[in-house]
A and B are shown apart, each in its own frame.
Chain A
């Protein structure tokens, strides 16, 4: 029982990271029907930005929550800019072309970021500094949680609530929902569709950056290819929850994280990556629209 609860705590923590990344996939898909394959690499950039910012600002040598928060925010800002640039210079020029063109562009951007990362950061893994002193907090019944896990959870939840607020309560959020329904109808409302698309990319990239920094708190080894697997799994999480559906991405992320941790704990660590694809196949067979997705509407 203790073991199970401990795994559950770990799984939820891990899942909240997947959820943060999955949100970016799902938002961009909702608005452009595009799978942004470079999204996992933006997560990688988030970790590296955090790494360099922590060094430059001295947060690496002076672990305290305020500086750590600064590292997180600056990295999010950096990736927000990267998201803006990717959208503006890679995706926007092919927006009126075929879906295939967009997909190939996405793969191209992904390769560019990975190999550009290699060039810039080097192939050797770097070690993310301890910007928060680590400690363990007992939860009772023999279950404990590290303060890094607490931070991961708290920051993820705060970001998701923030996103929920933006999407449901603000003007720009309403515009996002309008654009995801129909670009034509949104434009006829006076919404600048281009601007909403840009905003969506920036928002998604910032969430991915946060995920990158949060993960690096716990797994400090970072390298330019580190985004591939989590990116793929977060994408599966988005599909699992129903791609285009924001609560679905959160749910899918949690299911993915818990499943992965349980498989490692109770089956075998070699199954760690396979479980994502097992889940993908199962969901596509049983409920292709995803857990919270709507079945495709009949066009009248």
Chain B
């Protein structure tokens, strides 16, 4: 469904991704773990068309999207909940979800999709007329994910959805991610919480300073010595 081949990305002189190759098959949850500054966000930004790569190729459902503008990539069915959430702080929860469906015209279906998001995240329902800036961090994360679902993606990119959340909420978010995936959405999950990420994912990649160091079934990465040492606290 998604393939990334030999991707090279630079920020000025900083070589952020060095020949990254990975893929996600339809229906999978794939996770990408790695330390701060490894290039995880950069990879998601490049897939979404926010950063132009210097070399390499990104395809989605067989289509080359490497240099496609970001807003068109959303239209193809790739959606992202970005690092830092970036919810529209001055707009209500409702308006945020509405913007997630910006490219769609089917009013009735948009409405029922918003209802589906409220079922997924019930706290958002009570706060639908509240501005997003007044939500708690966890609620903002839910909104960011819900908003990303509003474009009806077939591939969902999640950048550290558990960041800054209390353990109970982290569990809830990961359960919801699995639920979304069961609904037929392929998920590429970037996480620092390697343990949780590898428990919900089928496969995983380990990114170190811009390079894929390891790739394997998530279950095997969970017991891999190097991974345990570096990302699972021994």
Which B residues, 38 to 71, have Cβ-Cβ distances below 8 Å to chain A? 48-50, 69-71
Which residues in B have their C-beta under 8 angstroms from that of A297?
89, 133
A191 within 8 A of partner (CB): yes
- Beta-carbon contact of A188 and B89 below 8 Å: no
* A246 smallest CB distance to B (angstroms): 12
- Beta-carbon contact of B89 and A184 below 8 Å: no
Which residues in B have their C-beta under 8 angstroms from that of A187?
48-50, 69-71, 74
B31 within 8 A of partner (CB): no
- Beta-carbon contact of A188 and B90 below 8 Å: no
Size category of the B interface is 20 to 34
- Classify the interface of chain A: helix, strand, loop or mixed: helix
Which residues in A have their C-beta under 8 angstroms from that of B75?
190
- Return the chain B residue nearest A171 by Cβ: B102
- Return the chain A residue nearest B137 by Cβ: A300
B1 within 8 A of partner (CB): no
* B144 smallest CB distance to A (angstroms): 9
- Return the chain B residue nearest A196 by Cβ: B71
Q: Interface code A174-206, partner B: CB below 8 Å = 1, 0 otherwise?
A: 110110011011111111110000000000000
Which residues in A have their C-beta under 8 angstroms from that of B48?
187-188
Which residues in A have their C-beta under 8 angstroms from that of B91?
174, 177-178, 181
The residue in B70, B89, B95, B151 that gathers the most chain A C-beta atoms within 10 A of its C-beta is: B70
B100 within 8 A of partner (CB): yes
- Return the chain B residue nearest A182 by Cβ: B86
| CB contact under 8 A between A189 and B95, given known A175-B102, A181-B90, A184-B86 | no
B10 within 8 A of partner (CB): no
- Beta-carbon contact of B89 and A190 below 8 Å: no
Q: Contacting A189 at CB < 8 Å: which of B72, B89, B102?
A: B102
Q: Contacting B102 at CB < 8 Å: which of A181, A182, A184, A191?
A: A191
B204 within 8 A of partner (CB): no
* A290 smallest CB distance to B (angstroms): 16
Which residues in B have their C-beta under 8 angstroms from that of A190?
71-72, 74-75, 102-103, 151
The residue in A185, A187, A188, A190 that gathers the most chain B C-beta atoms within 10 A of its C-beta is: A188
- Beta-carbon contact of A189 and B69 below 8 Å: no
Q: How far is the CA of A189 from the CA of B100 in the complex (A)?
A: 5
* A191 smallest CB distance to B (angstroms): 6
Q: How far is the CA of A174 from the CA of B103 in the complex (A)?
A: 12
- Return the chain B residue nearest A188 by Cβ: B80
Q: Contacting A188 at CB < 8 Å: which of B70, B95, B98, B133?
A: B70
- Return the chain A residue nearest B82 by Cβ: A188
- Beta-carbon contact of A184 and B98 below 8 Å: no
Q: Interface code B87-125, partner A: CB below 8 Å = 1, 0 otherwise?
A: 111110001001110110000000000000000000000
- Beta-carbon contact of B71 and A177 below 8 Å: no
- Return the chain B residue nearest A181 by Cβ: B88
Which A residues, 98 to 142, have Cβ-Cβ distances below 8 Å to chain B? none
Q: How far is the CA of A174 from the CA of B92 in the complex (A)?
A: 12
- Beta-carbon contact of B86 and A174 below 8 Å: no
* B110 smallest CB distance to A (angstroms): 12
Q: Contacting A174 at CB < 8 Å: which of B69, B71, B99, B151?
A: B99
| CB contact under 8 A between A189 and B50, given known A181-B88, A181-B90, A184-B82 | no
- Beta-carbon contact of B99 and A184 below 8 Å: no
The 8 A-B pairs of least Cβ separation, nearest first, read A190-B74, A185-B86, A187-B70, A190-B103, A189-B102, A192-B71, A189-B99, A190-B71
A sample of 12 inter-chain contacts (CB < 8 A) reads A174-B95, A182-B88, A185-B86, A185-B87, A185-B88, A188-B70, A189-B74, A189-B102, A190-B75, A191-B99, A191-B102, A297-B133
Given A192-B69, A193-B71, 8 extra CB contacts under 8 A: A174-B99, A181-B88, A187-B49, A187-B74, A189-B102, A191-B102, A297-B89, A297-B133
